[in-house]
Amino acid sequence: MNKLKVLLPILIFALISCDLIINERSAANACDQYLFDRISEQGYLGLFIYYDMIYIDEQWLSEEEKEKQRAALQEMHSDFLKSLEGYNLSGKNKSRYRPWISVFVYDKEALTYVCKSTFVDEVVEDRLSTTN
């Protein structure tokens, strides 16, 4: 069991690294044109924003590792939210245990910033959301 605890995070990291090398996915590709079309139509858009950070499901971590990962996640939330200051968005709901946050954006400038942010890996429309 101890070998599994040691090897699993290393294996996950290796797989993630290989995927990044093969795909070379840039932050500029975090959004597709569909999201820009939707914000033009509606005037706002609910988004799930997934961070560009290594994350391991907590079931595989010790209590100490969980706390470290949670602290890193809270730091990511804090840094990303600071970077959003001045942009037209609201409803910032952050996950305590997973690397994502949900927001409403109200213009293309805010959406463009989110899509190009180095904090962001993926942006997905929240189709069930309504503005507050």
What sign has the CA pseudo-torsion 34, 35, 41, 46?
Answer: positive
Pick 19 or 12 by higher pLDDT: 12
30 with 122: CB under 8 angstroms?
yes
pLDDT score of 59: 94
Range 27-125 has CATH code 3.30.70: yes
Residues 33-62 have pLDDT tens digits of 999 999 999 999 999 999 999 999 999 999
Residues 14-40 have pLDDT tens digits of 666 655 444 444 444 689 999 999 999
Residues 64-105 have pLDDT tens digits of 999 999 999 999 999 999 999 999 999 889 998 999 999 999
d(CA 10, CA 8): 5
What does pTM read for this prediction?
0.75
d(CA 68, CA 65): 5
